[in-house]
Amino acid sequence: MKIVIAPDSFKESLSARAACDWIAKGLRKAAPSARLIKIPLADGGEGTLEALTAGGRGFSAATTDPLGRKITARWGMLPDRRTAVVEMAQASGLALVPPPKRNPMLTSSRGTGIQIAQALDHGAALVILTLGGVATSDGGTGMARALGYRFLDKSDREIPEGAGGLKFLARIDSSLIHPRLKKTAFLAACDVKNTLCGPHGSARVYGPQKGATPRMVKEIERNFLNLIKIARRDLKINILKIVGGGAAGGAGAGAAAFLGAKLRPGVQIVFQALDFENRAKSADLIVSGEGKVDAQTLNGKTVWGVARMASKHKIPLVVFCGQTGAGHEKLHKLGVTQVIALRTPGMSVGHAMKNAGPLLMKKVSETPILI
């Protein structure tokens, strides 16, 4: 019996790799003769770097955080040694900036650009950029600066970094960009559909969580409109209506404009990079999981992607999660055999999170379909 173990991370409790290990421990008790295949997954958000570079190579190198302070951050290379993964949250993440210092008018995504340059210098032919969880709203211009783009005012002086400086943007100079930039393919993992501007645009929807006041939100929106105008003229690209362009403080639009990136759902990129379908389609059973399973799971989350693949190949799928929420029953329509929560009535969230590994192993070993 071949069982594929393919979970996402259990947020703030278990990495996808750790979840694989605990599920495997439970399965060895429930089905000791089964052949177990571990494939840790991610959806383009937290844990994507670790999932994609399993078996590859990780790098820790100097870069800068959103406030321009020197830090060391990670990026990785897949086993093919041609595909690099850069996670924006590593150098541009919201978690790197204490709440009192969060100000998207000033914070910059330059650190992510430094990491991309490192990947290019290592000979990457494809760079996967994961969007999300950032402290910046600079439209990816900080990232682009680190790759040689110059953002100039009417006097041909560099504008200040951050969303605030975009007010003064009069010209984009691409004459000194990194020599490998145009020779390298880019995929941006993006799981939101927000455009750069408008009622559901980047500033209005995500600005406040990055520290933007209502006044800042309006100013960022105006500054993005200026960036759109100048990019259309100087780079010959219209980033106004790019689906997902508003992701990561506008870095989705910036990735399209400055890197020539194609924006794709994170699950699609991860599954393709890991060749997940080909590795899992011959399984007799798939075991997956993530922290919470609810209606949001159907919006492109990992378990949704696994369920679609399992249904296509008529493979039973059992999903374990920390807890279930409203709408989790809809997964059964996708072909999920069982959804099993680790947290039982009366158990605190804190206890479930602290003991997620042993609880997961126990639930797996006791599940009838697995015995």
How many alpha carbons lie under 13 Å from residue 240 in its C-beta half-sphere? 11
Looking at the DSSP bridge assignments, the partners of residue 288 are 319
Residue pair 282/301 in contact by the 8 Å Cβ criterion: no
pLDDT higher than threshold 80 for residue 307? yes
Residues of the chain by 3-state class (helix, strand, coil), percent to 5 = 40, 20, 40
249: left (phi over 0), alpha (psi -120 to 50) or beta: left
Could you identify the residue written with the tokens 């996402």? 8
Please tell me the predicted confidence (pLDDT) of residue 66: 98
pLDDT-derived band at 6 (thresholds 50, 70, 90) equals: very high
Closest residue by Cα to residue 177 from 154, 143, 153: 143
* 188 backbone dihedrals φ, ψ, rounded to 5°: -110, 120
- Provide the H-helix boundaries in the chain: 16-30, 48-52, 88-92, 110-121, 141-145, 202-206, 214-234, 247-254, 266-273, 276-280, 302-312, 349-354, 356-366
Q: Which domains does the chain have, with CATH numbers?
A: 2-41+274-370 (3.40.50.10350), 48-267 (3.90.1510.10)
The residues pairing with 151 across neighbouring beta strands, listed in sequence order, are 172
- Name the β-bridge partners of 338: 318
The listed range with the strongest mean pLDDT (8-22, 227-241, 283-297) is 227-241
Give me the mean pLDDT over the 45-57 stretch: 86
Write the DSSP string, 281-348: TT-SEEEEEEEEESGGGGTT-HHHHHHHHHHHTT--EEEEEEEE-TTGGGGGGGT--EEEES--TT--
Task: Report in angstroms the alpha-carbon separations of 280 from 194, 233, 316.
Answer: 32, 47, 12
- Provide the pairing of β-strand 70-77 with 57-64: antiparallel
Residue 54 identity = A
Residues of the chain with pLDDT > 90: what percent? 86
Say whether pLDDT at 371 is over 60.
no
Closest CA to 247 of 208, 216, 202: 202
Q: What is the pLDDT of residue 73?
A: 98
| This model's pTM is above 0.75 | yes
What pLDDT was estimated at residue 370? Answer: 64
Cβ burial, residue 218 (10 Å; 0-12/13-18/19+): middle
Q: Which amino acid is residue 218, in one-letter code?
A: K
Give pLDDT tens digits for 120-132: 999 999 999 999 8
Phi first, then psi, for residue 82 (nearest 5°) are: -120, -20
- Cα–Cα dist 108/137, whole Å: 8
Alpha-carbon distance of 98 to 227, in angstroms, equals 28
Cα gap 128→319, rounded to integer Å? 28
**pLDDT for 281:** 97
